[in-house]
Amino acid sequence: MEENAEHKKEISKKDVEGLIIETLKTVYDPEIPVDVYEMGLIYEINVDDDFNVKIVMTLTSPSCPVAESMPEEIRQKVEDMWSVKSAEVELAWEPTWDKDMMSEEAKLELGML
């Protein structure tokens, strides 16, 4: 446990945010072959000085079949990171998600470019 505390002193909040983004890129909507980060579903990633993380995200629609499971999967994956003390995921519906929020990579993957 002390080893983790030492690592945290050597890593910045910006570094942790980058690691979180890499973790988010491993979470996919089961109906779309693009990860949640490239889909534009992540609105905010906040890392405090104690490495507690709050992620604000949305879904493609309020009736999305993974509305309960996806935020929990994200919370667990981020909280399991050695560089994170705790994680919370909040669903937000404003602004409403639309395909313009996707990265160029996601649009290319889905044949929209």
Q: For position 64, what pLDDT does the model report?
A: 82
How far apart (Å, rounded) are the C-alpha atoms in residues 65 and 96? 17
Contacts of 78 (CB under 8 A, 6+ apart): 20, 23, 24, 53, 55, 84, 87, 89
Q: Do 90 and 56 form a contact (C-beta atoms < 8 A)?
A: yes
pTM of the model: 0.87
The whole-angstrom distance between residue 68's C-alpha and the CA centroid of its chain comes to: 15
Give the integer Cα–Cα distance in Å for 28 and 35.
4
pLDDT tens track for 23-35: 999 999 888 889 9
Domain positions in the chain: 2-109
Instruction: Give CATH for domain 2-109.
Output: 3.30.300.130
